Amino acid sequence: MTSTRPRIVIVGGVAGGMSAATRLRRLLEHADIVILERGDYVSFANCGLPYYVGGLIEDRAALLLQTPQSLAARFALDVRTRTEVVAIDAERQVVTIRNLATGTDGEEAYDYLVLATGAAARETTAPPGGVPVVNLRTIDDVDTITALLDNRPTSEHHAVVLGGGFIGLEAAENLRRRGVAVTMIRRGSQLLSPLDPEMAAPLLEHARWNGIDVQLGEADITVTSTGVRLGAGQDVDATIVVDARGVTPDTSLAADAGLRLGASGGIAVDAHHRTSQPRIFAVGDAAEKTDLIDGSGAVVTMAGLANRHGRAAADTIAAAVTDTASVAPPAAPALGTAIIGFFDFTAAFVGWNERRLRAAGRQHRVIHLHPAHHASYYPAAEHMAIKLLIDPATDRILGAQIVGGAGVDKRIDVIAVAMHAGLTASALGELELAYAPQYGTAKDPINLAGNIAENHATGLDHSTQWHELDDALAAGATLVDVRSAAEHDAGAIPGSILLPLDELRDRHGELPADLIVHCQVGQRGHIAARLLRQLGHRASNLDGGYLTWAAGQRASDAAVLSS
Ligand code: FAD
């Protein structure tokens, strides 16, 4: 036991910090729990901020989930806002605090310290008096943005959003929702870089359909007094610039105190969220996570992990304080599961993408499919595109990406659960998932992905990827389109021969031995490839069919244009 009345100090009063604080109170009624937050607010809904800018969340108060007063009343927490921790003395177990209202410094002793300092946005240098540059991370930020937007008619505003990741996309969508003209400027050749290019292509189209001017491949931008200057010297005028070019773990306090940082840049912690100083814990965006795929240190800045790890750190502290052996189980490795809604489009992913697997030199198998989210005969079925990445040696799932509309959220979560549980890709075919026509299909998209994975694992399926096709055709392969003539006429892969699936059995003799077949989404192509292989051809199926190939072409075109 540390003392009869242990004192636990928490730095940062939002997701990770407040989860730790309230869990600690549920476990330790007789502890002093102090939360030090440099901002004006604690426990606010940062994930909801963009939707307040867009007017979807109308009531600002809805963003403020708790106040220091409500937390004192229910949990007897000593919450101090506008209080910044400026130094940690791990030897003496004290932190130096600065009252930002008065500018005075003081000290606060702790038995245990939890760092939940979050992530820091990059600083943008802008000429004084010029176009305002804002982040979208705090209540103060949204107050600034809404005040700026209100200071002149909407039609006179032009927002430039820097960055095309989660917050950039959400900012752009919500500015459009308010009627503001938006230019989005991004360094890379696609939006949302965790997606592979063929999966990200529809996102760019949705942005443009919704009136967002997207400029890709702009690595070298400067904020000027009237807007933003692109690398080639082109000026984009703006009345407001929202800088959403990503964040890094806010580790300055920890680093100054000599705590070890991980290779990823986050605060290094063990599986119980202990830093290199055993009485100091770190959780949330500031802390390094362990990656599920290769066990390396990773930065994953998502709310679910921050909340979960805050709770778990509290459990470990409570066990130490009360001298119980029942320490919380070690943290599960991070998967990086994430989802974004962008207008009526949804993109989600988990684990590694193909780009990362290739860069790491890891063997992988790729499956694309385009199932409907519920029975296609039932009204309003929507299609999604699923990409599954699999370790060919173990059949383990390495990652997944899903884009589309309805039902994307459910499928990414099922795959995340499967990865967490260590299921193989083939085992997805065995999952017994709830089905009625308005919710799914008797063979759910997840089951279909598992069936395809099993076909690959057992050698029944041989596929060619969209980006391998040009080389295969250049090397003399014959590409056979097994769709209908109408489908072929509506859009065909250059060089393909039309031979509809239902004629293949009788006419396969017209074809050479080595073939790549394709259909619209890969399903008829699989049937064709199976038939042709049994009839003596060496046939492979274009994975994901015409739709994946076409998305890949659009992504390649965007990359060429942005280079
Ligand atoms: P935070 O919640 O950022 O809290 C850190 C706090 O520490 C801050 O309030 C900061 O002021 C305070 N602090 C830092 N240093 C000090 C110091 N020295 N002294 C005192 N106080 C200090 N995640 C999702 O999973 N899904 C989403 O849809 C999603 N949407 C998001 C939308 C936006 C606009 C933003 C900004 C984030 C979003 N996130 C989302 C990310 C998610 O909010 C973070 O992963 C999560 O809040 C991290 O929790 P945290 O406790 O580590 O840090």
Q: What is the mean pLDDT of residues 37-45?
A: 96
Q: How close is the Cα of 118 to the center of ligand 1, in Å?
A: 5
Atom of ligand 1 nearest to the CA of 16: 51
Residue 3 CB partners (closer than 8 Å, separation 6+) = 111
- Conformation bin of residue 349: beta by default, left when phi > 0, alpha when psi is -120 to 50: beta
Give 326's pLDDT tier (boundaries 50, 70, 90): low
Half-sphere exposure (CA, 13 Å, Cβ side) for 269? 34
Angle in degrees, 0-180, between the axes of helices 197-209 and 166-177, rounded to the nearest 10? 20
Q: How close is the Cα of 19 to the center of ligand 1, in Å?
A: 12
**What is the per-residue pLDDT for 220?**
87
Question: For residue 215, what is the DSSP state?
Answer: E
Give 130's pLDDT tier (boundaries 50, 70, 90): confident
Total-model pTM: 0.96
pLDDT at 107 over 70: yes
- Give 221 or 109, the one with higher predicted confidence: 109
Q: How far apart are CA 79 and CA 73, in angstroms?
A: 11
Percent of the chain beyond pLDDT 90?
93
- Mean of the per-residue pLDDT values of the chain: 95
**What is the per-residue pLDDT for 1?**
46
Which of 23, 36, 40, 46 has most ligand 1 atoms within 8 Å of its beta carbon, as the pocket-test mutant? Answer: 46
Q: What is the mean pLDDT of residues 410-422?
A: 98
Give the position of tokens 């805050």.
310
pLDDT in tens, 333-359: 999 999 999 999 999 999 999 999 999
Atom of ligand 1 nearest to the CA of 39: 11
Q: Is the CB of 137 under 6 A from ligand 1?
A: yes
Which of 9, 23, 35, 38 has most ligand 1 atoms within 8 Å of its beta carbon, as the pocket-test mutant? Answer: 38
Q: How far apart are CA 226 and CA 237, in angstroms?
A: 6
Question: For residue 191, what is the DSSP state?
Answer: S
pLDDT in tens, 85-96: 999 999 999 999
Give 325's pLDDT tier (boundaries 50, 70, 90): low
Q: How close is the Cα of 306 to the center of ligand 1, in Å?
A: 8
What counts of helices (H) and strands (E) characterise the chain? 16, 30
Which of 19, 40, 47, 173 has most ligand 1 atoms within 8 Å of its beta carbon, as the pocket-test mutant? Answer: 47
Q: What is the mean pLDDT of residues 19-41?
A: 97
**What is the per-residue pLDDT for 158?**
97
pLDDT in tens, 441-451: 999 999 999 99
Atom of ligand 1 nearest to the CA of 286: 52
Q: What is the mean pLDDT of residues 384-412?
A: 98
CB 150: neighbour CB atoms within 10 A? 9
